[in-house]
């Protein structure tokens, strides 16, 4: 019989096919969160962190993308709560997962507990560096505010400026610095190759 984590992972792998916030993003976020915890010496609940990482964007997937609530973090938390309740995940653990999910967007009010902090910083870091740039470019034509490559560049630069100031952990800030330099190099090369983006 599969564990709840295995069931959740299989579900997200099946329905989370979006290139920006799908299964791959969730697995990277989980790995980053574990890396942050190890570097900072933070104790956390392994199952809660993994489930929260896997389900933090579940409300964005077509099968769950209902109109209410509009905020994707609240919708993802509501969907995650239903999934975990149906799987008989412990009620207190489910509450911890849904609270971490609600607090995960960069700039949102921080959640309580280690899992919420780790998830929040890991999600933010996945917007930076070569992976972050790949994600932003994958948004072209799928997001209202990223209509073309120039808009994607503007979006990447905005994230590059904003994200480091939103991070909580020192390790996160170190990773953001390295990933920020990756972003800067790419954008500098892109500008040089496209006559200051005019040839995009």
Task: Return the CATH number at 69.
Answer: 1.10.472
89/103 Cα distance (integer angstroms): 20
Residue-number span of the structural domain to which 54 is assigned: 1-113
Q: Are residues 58 and 134 in the same domain?
A: no
How many helical (H) and strand (E) elements, i.e. helices and strands, does the chain have? 9, 0
pTM attached to this predicted model:
0.93
Query: Which tens digit of pLDDT belongs to each residue from 63-122?
Result: 887 765 578 899 999 999 999 999 999 999 999 999 999 999 988 888 889 999 999 999
Angstrom CA distances, 143 to 21, 68, 137, 151, 152, stand at 12, 19, 11, 10, 10
In this structure, the dihedral spanned by the alpha carbons of residues 56, 161, 113 and 58, taken in order and rounded to 10 degrees, is 0
Burial class, 25, CB count within 10 angstroms (exposed 0-12 / middle 13-18 / buried 19+): buried
Asked whether the predicted pLDDT for residue 186 surpasses 60, the reply is yes
Q: What pLDDT was estimated at residue 141?
A: 84
120 is a domain residue: no
Q: Are residues 141 and 91 in the same domain?
A: no
Q: Where among 56, 81, 113 does a domain terminate?
A: 113
Q: Are residues 195 and 136 in the same domain?
A: yes
Query: Which tens digit of pLDDT belongs to each residue from 31-56?
Result: 999 999 999 999 999 999 999 999 99
């Amino acid at each position: 019989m599969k564990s709840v984590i295995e069931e959740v992972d299989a579900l997200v792998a099946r329905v989370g096919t979006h290139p920006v916030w799908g299964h791959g993003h969730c697995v990277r976020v989980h790995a980053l969160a574990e890396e942050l915890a190890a570097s900072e010496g933070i104790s956390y609940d392994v199952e809660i962190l993994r489930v929260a990482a896997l389900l933090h964007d579940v409300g964005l997937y077509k099968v769950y993308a209902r109109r209410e609530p509009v905020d994707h973090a609240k919708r993802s938390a509501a969907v995650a709560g239903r999934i975990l309740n149906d799987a008989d995940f412990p009620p207190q653990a489910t509450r911890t997962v849904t609270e971490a999910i609600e607090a995960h967007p960069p700039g949102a009010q921080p959640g309580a507990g280690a899992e919420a902090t780790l998830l929040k910083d890991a999600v933010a870091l996945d917007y930076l560096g070569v992976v972050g740039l790949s994600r932003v470019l994958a948004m072209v034509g799928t997001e209202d505010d990223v209509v073309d490559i120039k808009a994607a560049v503007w979006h990447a630069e905005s994230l590059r400026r904003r994200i480091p100031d939103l991070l909580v952990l020192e390790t996160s800030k170190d990773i953001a610095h390295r990933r920020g330099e990756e972003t800067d190099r790419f954008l500098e090369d892109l500008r040089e190759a496209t006559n200051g983006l005019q040839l995009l």
